[in-house]
Structure 1
Amino acid sequence: MELNVKLAHKTYPIYIENNLLQSAGSYIEHAFQGKRIMIISDDNVYPLYGDLLTAQLEGRYQCSHYVLPHGEPSKSFDMLPGVYSALLEAKLSRSDLIIALGGGVVGDLTGFVAATYLRGIKLVQIPTSLLAQVDSSVGGKVAVDLPQGKNLVGAFYHPDMVLIDPLVLKTLPERFINDGMGEVIKYGCIADAKLFKILEKCGSFEDLEDYLSNIIYTCVDCKRRVVEEDERDTGRRMLLNFGHTLAHTIEQHFHYERESHGEAVAIGMYQICRFAQLRGLTAPGTAEQIKSILISYHLPFECALPTDVLLDAILLDKKNLNDHLNVILLHTIGDSYIYETTAEFFKSEQITQI
């Protein structure tokens, strides 16, 4: 399956195919005519797929690699000097290529490196986690974290190609599958009631196997359409942030060591619907629908934090513009909208704990 993201300044393809990683070299060779390639990965993914990818490229290119420690702490400024130094030592120029081989952390950090090294270098994303395949590898948002919050320093920098092999998900631990399902469920919530019903019907990731490639395609296609309409996240693209206002604050509060991103998004989706239902902004029963599907896919719906603990971090959220916070709410499942409010939205005598 193939999709193309068509922007005013750039068009790039997304390929989704079982066993694609076995032939990734031919896709890259067709699209890239330079001399040098740097593969950036982490210490979980590179041992699994690094040699396979390198073997396909070495006859045609000068290849090198840089391996990060796995986990969200690697998506920080502290890691950048080492990556830039490796690129310089490998003599990569602006006509060369960086490949991000890994999950969301690798993809985000590598994308930020590609955007900033020599003011921009070619980039291919090969996402190996479910979350990265359905969401973060597409759309051009790249960033690193600050101690004060997640993704606070970044850029819009699109890859030249995205290669998605659903079969690599077979090597993921269960928690990382669950993590990705948080974002899959998000797409059902914001834009695709039919997808949500399929997820409800199947009830587990194992029962989704026959649907998996199509589910990835559906999520990516939804993101593609939204990004083409609103590349810079000032309008409709904000819908993709459903649950994220709370999610990022939860992740930060626990120093990215407790809830994963998808788990935090799951909590955020359910909890924001609780607040919205109290104010008559979301159809009654919507939060309960979300809670039920989260439980089915082994995702949390609460984190036991007092709401006032999270308010300071919410004020630093990137969607907080001119002291107004754009939160994403649902009319019903599959029908989302942008609601302009303030941090006061999250103050309620009836909900004192998230």
Structure 2
Amino acid sequence: MAMVGVFALAALGMLAPAGARAEAPLSVVATTGMIADAARQIGGDRVSVRALMGPGVDPHAYRQTRTDIAAMVRADLVLWHGLYLEAQMEGFLQELAARKPVVAVAESLPRELLISHVDYSDKFDPHVWMDPRLWSRVVETVREALVAARPEDAEVFAANAKAYLDRLSQLADYSDKVFASVPETARVLVTAHDAFSYFGRAQGFEVLGIQGISTQSEAGLQRVAELVDILVQRKIGAVFVESSVSDRSVRALIEGAAARGHTVVIGGELFSDAMGADGTYEGTYPGMIDHNATTIARALGGSAPERGMSGQLANGS
């Protein structure tokens, strides 16, 4: 679909006039579910939040629709991740930023806290939400963006943000506890694409992705063969699929290991670039990370409650 320009939409009267609907909830559009969850929790009933990318959607490949464009142009505030996560949308978002408040929330992170990648010498790994402590810094930026857009609600946003950040601190502590129970030799996470490096750094896990940090990179036969060698030689018994990435390459690993007499099972489905179903616990950021932590720990020989940190996981791990 051809891009609909910001200025063309303005000419059609789709840009909301400044100061319109001051008493209505602040209209916020967020690109990803993780950002939308933070905005909803911080904003409460003072905001109306729409997430462009739902469950199972790959943000690396996502292109905005005409409906998305209209929603962003009409919104009071647009929140996007940045760090080249929304690679196909970046041009439009940068253009829109010249006309209204548009904030790339992860770009606020200090560069020394980010992980670079050999595939992208001038870019950083965008998957910072995999470390709840690091993501908490992004949540603070979401709070600041909401306050800047609606300063009269600053106290409400601050109180809600504190409660949300306290919950993320509990989530991080839970993750530390369950991952500490995983045997040292089993701390290897093999997944469809390289989305878990921040998790690995925080928890002392080796992370091996079939594809690179973007799902747009190719998973070549050589990479699959290399990982099969590692699975067999190190007797790794579990690999993981992702909810927003095809499981084809992961199953190729399992078949390759089986051909060499080594059994590998799928340890579970993880949420990588998108959260769970709307309206579920797993469809929130805490639920997403709780599910991942519980699933990984239990599959790799650790100890974790079947229903997760607070007993809310729908079907256990």
TM-score (ref. length: structure 1): 0.29
User: Which structure has more strand as a fraction of its residues?
Assistant: 1
TM-score (ref. length: structure 2): 0.31
User: Which structure has more helix as a fraction of its residues?
Assistant: 1
